[in-house]
């Protein structure tokens, strides 16, 4: 059985969890936070998520884990059969990561420490997000799914990327970023109504207070040095 290591406040963790649930694969969850000694023994960079495969192999990095799951358990496919269409799905995922999620993450240290985000940082993030908005408007179809008629890994990936964009990017910039992409908000609302998304979200909300407490403790410890 697969063991999923990490914590439910992490969107990367939830991405992998969503894939496992969608494919109806049996798995166990093991609560681990970043920076812990236990995590460092199974994750080269000390990051979550990590899975222990049925064969006892440890794998980290969400994209690597998702590809492993797809290749090992292909019965419920999350990529199209056509190579070109698969590449388009991966392109959407990469654009969402580089130009949507990663810039929004720049606000996280300021939010958790309760400090004001410098205007220069806001301007940089807005510029990158604008690039992402342009690219995703060109790539996403929402007919009815992100890449077209088939539900794919891009749907799961973009949905969990949007959690970070809404929580940090949009809130700090006072800008409804998702509304800038035609069809995105309607699709995102539809995704959130699925039983899997609601289960993952409930676990995320339940874990968030403990996660925030740990982050604040780390920030206080760093300032005390």
Rounded to an integer, what distance in angstroms lies between the CA atom of residue 102 and that of residue 51? 23
Give the pLDDT of residue 34.
Answer: 85
Give the pLDDT of residue 223.
Answer: 64
All structural domains of the chain: 2-76+195-224 (3.40.30.10), 83-192 (1.20.1050.10)
Give the pLDDT of residue 200.
Answer: 98
| Three-class SS of 39-94 | HHCCCCCCCCCEEECCCCCEEECHHHHHHHHHHHCCCCCCCCCCHHHHHHHHHHHH
pLDDT 10s digits, 123-175: 999 999 999 999 999 999 999 999 999 999 999 999 999 999 999 999 999 99
Give the pLDDT of residue 144.
Answer: 97
Question: Would you list the DSSP string of 94-145?
Answer: HHHIIIIIHHHHTTHHHHHHT-PPPHHHHHHHHHHHHHHHHHHHHH---SSB
Give the pLDDT of residue 114.
Answer: 87
Q: Are 23 and 74 in contact (CB under 8 A)?
A: no
Q: At what angle do helices 195-224 and 11-22 cross, to 10 degrees?
A: 160
Q: Among 104, 80, 109, which residue's Cα sits nearest to residue 178?
A: 104
Q: At what angle do helices 153-164 and 11-22 cross, to 10 degrees?
A: 150
Nearby residues of 134 by Cβ (< 8 Å), 6 or more positions away: none
CA 69, 73, 78, 83 torsion-angle sign = positive
The pLDDT of residue 2 is above 80: yes
pLDDT 10s digits, 46-98: 999 999 999 999 999 999 999 999 999 999 999 999 999 999 999 999 999 99
The pLDDT of residue 185 is above 70: yes
For 193, the token pair is 């109504």
Rounded to an integer, what distance in angstroms lies between the CA atom of residue 41 and that of residue 29? 17
Q: Please report which helix (H) or strand (E) contains residue 28, including its range.
A: strand 27-31
**Angle at alpha carbon of residue 191, lines to 59 and 193, rounded to 5°:** 115
Nearby residues of 8 by Cβ (< 8 Å), 6 or more positions away: 14, 17, 200, 203, 204, 206, 207
The predicted model scores a pTM of 0.94
């Amino acid at each position: 059985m697969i063991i999923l290591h990490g914590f439910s406040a992490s969107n990367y963790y939830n991405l992998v969890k969503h894939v496992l649930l969608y494919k109806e694969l049996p798995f166990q969850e093991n609560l681990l936070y970043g920076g812990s000694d236990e995590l460092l023994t199974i994750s080269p960079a000390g990051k979550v998520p990590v899975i222990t495969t049925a064969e006892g192999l440890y794998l980290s990095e969400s994209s690597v884990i998702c590809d492993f799951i797809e290749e090992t358990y292909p019965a419920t496919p999350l990529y199209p059969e056509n190579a070109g269409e698969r590449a388009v799905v991966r392109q959407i995922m990469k654009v969402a990561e580089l130009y949507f999620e990663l810039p929004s993450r720049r606000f996280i240290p300021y939010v958790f420490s309760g400090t004001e985000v410098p205007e220069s940082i806001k301007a940089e993030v807005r510029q990158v997000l604008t690039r992402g908005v342009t690219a995703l408007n060109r790539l996403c179809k929402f007919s009815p799914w992100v890449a077209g008629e088939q539900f794919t890994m891009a749907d799961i990936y973009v949905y969990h990327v949007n959690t970070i964009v809404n929580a940090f990017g949009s809130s700090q910039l006072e800008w409804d970023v998702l509304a800038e992409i035609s069809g995105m908000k309607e699709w995102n609302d539809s995704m959130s109504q699925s039983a899997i998304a609601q289960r993952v979200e409930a676990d995320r909300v339940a874990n968030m207070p403990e996660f925030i407490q740990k982050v604040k403790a780390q920030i206080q410890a760093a300032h005390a040095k």
